[in-house]
Structure 1
Amino acid sequence: MSALGPLIALATTALALSGCGDKQQPQAAAPAPAVTVAQPTKRTVTDWDEFTGRFEAIEEVQVRARVGGFVTSVEFRDGAIVRAGDLLYVIDPRPFEAVAKQAEGQLADARAKAELAKRELDRGLNLVQTSAVSEQVVDQRRQALQAAHAAEMQAEGALKAAQLNIEFTHVLAPLTGRVSRHLVSVGNLVQGSEGGATLLTSIVSLDPIYIYFDVDEATYLRNNRLWFEGKRPSSRDTANPVQVTLTGETRPSHEGKMDFLDNRLDVSTATLRSRAVVPNKDLSILPGQFGRVRIIGSAPYEALLVPDTAVATDQSRKIVFVVKDDDTVEAKPVVLGPLDEGLRVVREGLKADDRVIVDGLQRARVGAKVSPHPAQAASGGKS
């Protein structure tokens, strides 16, 4: 063997050892992702049906001129709150005062004629006893007295009508509410009720206020069935409470009571016209506004609730992710109910002791292990 043999063998061994040293070590397994879990909240809830409604004034009046004439003053500020009996407009009363004076004179003349006819009848009754006058004359004088009384009544009526016209020249607010703008300015001629009364302004009452909404046929039938079963009072004979959410609000800000249900369904929409009355002490709600109306839709019942953020959508299904005893994730299809104080009612699919993932859904994979941590406090309302 030559002297190079041992050197070649040594180099081969060194290369082999060097290759072994470059081999990568296996990586450590990734830790299970952390998620927050909580058991469903259990409490007694009541379902609410929700509808879109529009506010309308309980009382609304179009103020029109009852007598014709020239407007001499406007006594209100556009858009202000007016009280019943407040002066709104003044129409020139002088022509009606002149008519009233004339009617007073006609009444005085009629009364004088009636007094004269009475005295003549009294004399005739005395003379007929001595046959100084005939019965025919007495009958004529009696008829004259009756005619005089009739003329007196006509004169009294004409005077009252003239006095009413003077009163109508002062246009008063018929109710308390918010007045619109003035539609007739000073100096304009307005028509009275005899010739198509001129519209002067309008007034709407604000406190309380109505909200009208339409209940679909399915909801009506369900509520009617609950009433027959004694589980829900009917709004026809019970002022069921309602809650109203205004545009731009996320929670109900006003409470009211049911006030009216129509006697038939609308044949074109298959809905039942309904109405609630809502206090409006601060006068912030105006007729014509929209609002979301919630009305009791069930009897109280025990329910499980979870945060709405814990619910995911899988195509057409609603699911929640729960952590099993071995810390693996399972997806459970659920049937949901309405929101109640910030939590979502789960009608079917959950048990009271399930550990529901309420935070970290994006890190959860079905069948994979997670590191569950209990939630610090229940979110939403009271348990």
Structure 2
Amino acid sequence: MTIDTRLPALAAVYLFLAGCGAAESSEAPPPPMPVTVAAPLVQEVVDWDDYVGRFEAVQSVEVKPRVTGYLRSVAFTDGAYVRAGQTLFTIDARPAQAALDQSAAQLARAEATLINARTELARSQTLAASQAASTEEVEQRRAGVRAGEADVNAARAAVRAQQLTVGFTRVTAPISGRVSERIVDVGNSVTADTTVLTRIVSTNPIHFAFDGSEALLLKYQRQRAGASNGTPVRIKLQDEPTYVHAGRLDFVDSTIDTGAGTVRARAVVPNPDNFIKPGMFGQMQLSGSQPYRAMLIPDTAVVTDAARKVVYLVDKVGTVIARPVVLGPLTGNLRVIRSGIRPADRVIISGLQRARPGEKVVPKPGRIPPPGPPEGTPGTAITSAPSSTASPVR
């Protein structure tokens, strides 16, 4: 009888493999991972649409002389704030004064001639009453009086005109505002209604002009039945982190630019300290909706899945569910959710990297803190620059 020497080796291999399988079968599946969940924050918000534009003066005037002559003095400091009626320039008034004196002398002559004509008329009327003068002579004297009165009126008008000319030799500020530098120096000849001496722009309030799309114009008109004037706005300058300048929309153009498809609009902004200068660039947010109740979740809780946006929810048995949502604007670091979730849903706000749809998790209750003050409040940093943003209604 022959014994196969390979049997012990095969038995050993079998026992080894059986032991490995038993070890693997004894390992337990990994435990569910912990995540933090919270119900969406529900509160009233207002949507804001973003625009860019520039500040413009409400009033802008080119200061020109009303008379021709030589400039004698400049009575302001370049760049200073001037008030309406303040003297800015003086022009040599001697030629105008001489013309005024001449007109005054002509008026005196006309008045003397009129007095004489009236005396002659009175004498002729007395003689005519005693049959010593004819009716024709009386009518001639009466015509002379009427001519004298006309000459006096003309001379008085000439005097008033020359008085205006003398007054125009003092060039005053037509409006209150910030004056530019002088363009003409003392000693130069200036021409009436032609030479630009300087420019003045008003500073308080100030306009912010911008262009909006036709689509946004239609949205505002439908929301407010065409009454978009008075809509609140907030603006920040290039070096400002927050929207600290508040104002209101005061003008929307009546026509659309057919080439660009935009409409010009304007807001009026208080500028009591004259800090904002015409021509400055700014970013503006225009109130794009009435206050409405919205659900908000952290923007970090939104996951991109191909072409859609989803959030992860945890159901009653601890299973992760991917729910497609429609996003709204940002308010602080929270995102408005238009649709897709309900106020009672448990949204995963922390631990997204440990959650997979269909898998079990251990939900731990958390809380979504309310957003900080609106971006128009000093000290609040800008969190994003989307096409539209939202702020909570306080």
Partner residue, 1:296: 287
1:297-336 correspondence to structure 2 within 5 Å: 297-325=288-316, 327=318, 329-336=320-327
| 1:234 aligns to 2:227 (yes or no) | yes
Verify: 1:215 aligned to 2:212, yes or no: yes
The partner residue of 1:224 within 215, 221, 226 is: 221
Q: 1:339 and 1:119, CA in 2 relative to 1: closer, same or farther beyond 3 A? A: farther
Aligned partner of residue 265 in structure 1, secondary structure: coil
Superposition deviation, residue 268 in structure 1: 2.4
1:269 aligns with 2:264: no
Contact 2:60 2:201 in 1 (8 A): yes
State the alpha-carbon separation in 2 of the partners of residues 348 and 76 from structure 1. 63
Q: Secondary structure at the match of 1:264?
A: coil
2: CA distance, partners of 1:28 / 1:379: 42
Q: Which residue of 2 aligns with 1:60?
A: 60
| Aligned equivalent of 1:126 | 126
SS at match of 1:333: strand
Q: Which residue of 2 aligns with 1:258?
A: 249
Instruction: Please state whether the residue corresponding to 1:244 is helix, strand or coil.
Output: strand
Q: Which residue of 1 aligns with 2:38?
A: 38
- From 316, 328, 331, the equivalent of 1:340 is 331
Aligned to 1:102: 102
Q: Which runs of 5+ in 2 are unaligned?
A: 1-7, 373-391
Q: Which amino acid aligns with 2:328?
A: G
Q: What amino acid sits opposite 1:78 in the alignment?
A: D
Quickly say closer, same or farther: Cα 1:143–1:244, change in 2 above 3 A: same
One-letter amino acid of the counterpart of residue 304, structure 1? M
State the match for 2:172 in structure 1. Answer: 172
Relative to 1, partners in 2 of residues 1:372 and 1:186: Cα closer, same or farther, differing over 3 Å? Answer: farther
- Flag the 1:43–1:120 CA change in 2: closer, same or farther, 3 A: same
Give per-residue Cα distances to partners, 1:100-141, cap 9 Å, x unaligned: 111111111111111111111121222222232222222222
Report SS of the residue matched to 2:197: strand
Residue in structure 2 matched with residue 279 of structure 1 by the alignment: 270
Maintained 8 Å contact 1:32/1:371: yes
Out of 323, 342, 358, the residue aligned to residue 351 of structure 1 is 342
Alpha carbons 1:307, 1:379 under 8 Å: kept: no
Amino acid at match of 2:178: R
Q: TM-score, normalised by structure 2?
A: 0.79
Give how far 1:99 is off: 1.4
Amino acid at match of 2:274: L
Contact 1:321 1:332 in 2 (8 A): yes
Please, what is the CA RMSD of the aligned residues? 3.1
Q: Could you say which residue in structure 2 is the equivalent of 1:150?
A: 150
| Closer/same/farther in 2, CA of residues 129 and 244 from structure 1, 3 Å limit | same
TM-score by length of 1: 0.81
The letter of the residue matching 1:266 is: D
Corresponding residue for residue 204 of structure 1: 201
Deviation (angstroms), 1:375: 4.5
Separation of aligned partners in 2, 1:65 and 1:32: 86
TM-fit CA distance, 1:162: 1.5
Contact 1:66 1:192 in 2 (8 A): yes
User: Structure 1 unaligned runs (5+)?
Assistant: 1-8
- Work out the CA distance in 2 between the residues paired with 1:249 and 1:330: 42
Structure 1 residues 288, 30: closer, same or farther in 2, change over 3 A? farther
| 1:245 paired residue number | 236
- Contact conserved, 1:36 with 1:372, CA < 8 A, in 2? yes
- Map residues 361-376 of structure 1 onto 2, 5 A cutoff: 361=352, 364-367=355-358, 373-375=364-366
Report the Cα distance in structure 2 between the residues aligned to 1:93 and 1:359, rounded to whole angstroms. Answer: 82
Q: 1:80 to 1:372 in 2, by over 3 A?
A: farther
Q: Is the 8 A contact 2:41 2:370 kept in 1?
A: no
The number of equivalent residue pairs is 356
